[in-house]
Structure 1
Amino acid sequence: MAPVSALAKYKLVFLGDQSVALPVVPVSHSTNLEGLAIIAMELALENVTNTLATVEKLLGDESLDKYVMGCLTDCLELYSDAVWRIVDSVDVFLSGNYEVSRIWMSSVMEAASTCQQGFEEKGEVSPLTEENYNLFQLCGIALCIIHLSTPVTANAIPF
């Protein structure tokens, strides 16, 4: 069994009937860029899991019309995929594969846009506008920090 001090470095995130252990990054004034990237991805994950709960609640509302229910079902699928994409992004980021992490976080960002656009296609007001906007912004922040964390090679210098 792992020592308690080793276990304290992880927090358990519950995703429906499954759970994932993510590394805990203490928020402090001494956190480096990599730590900030993890924090941004964890905030995005928290947004996604909260939004999933909101979507599931809305799907139980029988007063919503069929089109809105279809959009919510699409958003449920997009956000469910986003959970695992963020978890995987954290893993590959921690392994030093920043490019894959950027690609996967970009796909999460796209999920928020796609969810929002589904409602707007037929002029519906999305009940998830704030959640989609927040996820889009959190992913943008994570992407910026991941980009700043990426080691610069001599060939990548643009001047």
Structure 2
Amino acid sequence: MSSSNRDLLRILVSLREPDEPKNACHIHISCDATASKNKSLNRQSFFFLQFIKMNLSRVTILFLAILFQETLFLAMGDREFIENTCKGTPSYNLCLSILLANPKSQDANLTGLALIVVDAVKNEGVKTLQQIHALKKSLPELTATLMQCGDVYNTIMHVNVPLTINALNLGNPKFGEDGMADTTIESQTCERSFKEHGQTSPLTNMNKDMEDVANVARAIIRMLL
């Protein structure tokens, strides 16, 4: 082939239209139909997913409503049980405040409620012993009497409370009642010791609180006899 012919061929090749992409549509009507079909499928999928979501939402709401209703009924039953129990104690409001403040009361039986109040007795003992320790420093003239009260509350903490807890756990409420009865006597002993020494008690309120809580615990334990 002559050089002039080669040049002519090269020019013709350069002027040729570029190839269409492999995936290009040769028939525009077919492309439009395919796009329309895809759009229809996407719309159907969208409505189907919306339908599923709506029905799942209804099922979820129904389930939560049933669960809430059952929880409410159980809570009402527990509350009624607690209220009826506290009505049998010398201090209804105190009993109710102690039990409702403890989440364990929600599914506790009578022994469980008694143990909760005994634990409140223990807490009162801890607070009173801390106060006795502080008063020895701020009121040194009362040290001797405060030491007597310290012995009294140590007896409550290390003898009466453990005795009562063990008795309840072992199913022997009579010994538990005795432990709480002695606790009320001990708190009265502490209060009386100040009067015997001609002193004004700085522990009157705490001794009364201990006596009241112990009496509530004792009353609940008596229900187990």
Q: Which residue of 1 aligns with 2:145?
A: 71
Confirm or deny: 8 A CA contact 2:105 2:112 kept in the other structure.
Answer: no
Gaps of at least 5 residues in structure 2 are: 1-101
Report deviation, 1:93. 1.3
CA displacement at 1:96 relative to structure 2: 0.9
SS state at 1:90 partner: helix
Q: Distance in 1 between matches of 2:217 and 2:168?
A: 11
**Can you give the 5+ residue segments of structure 1 that lack an aligned partner in the other structure?**
1-24, 151-159
Letter matched to residue 114 of structure 2:
A
Offset, 1:97: 1.2
CA displacement, residues 29-87 of structure 1 (integer Å, 9 cap, x when unaligned): 332211111011000000001111111111122x432xx22110000011011101202
Q: Any residues of structure 2 matched to 1:132-151 within 5 Å, and which?
A: 132-150=207-225
Q: Secondary structure at the match of 2:202?
A: coil
Once residues 192 and 104 of structure 2 are traced to their aligned partners in structure 1, the CA distance between those partners, rounded to angstroms, is 34
The equivalent of 1:45 in structure 2 is: 122
Residue 107 of structure 2: aligned partner: 30
Question: Alpha-carbon deviation of 1:142?
Answer: 0.4
CA shift, 1:131, in A, is 0.8
- How many angstroms apart in 2 are the aligned matches of 1:26 and 1:94? 19
Instruction: State, as a whole percentage, how many aligned pairs show the same letter.
Output: 24
Find the aligned partners of 1:28 and 1:59 in 2 and give their Cα distance: 37
How do 1:57-136 and structure 2 match up within 5 A? 57-61=134-138, 63-65=139-141, 68-84=142-158, 85-136=160-211
Shift of 1:26: 4.3
Hey, what's the Cα distance between the residues in 2 that align with 1:130 and 1:141? 17
More strand by share: 1
Match of 1:156 in 2: none
Q: How far apart, in 1, do the equivalents of 2:197 and 2:136 lie?
A: 19
| Larger relative contact order, structure 1 or 2 (CA cutoff 8 Å, min sep 6) | 1
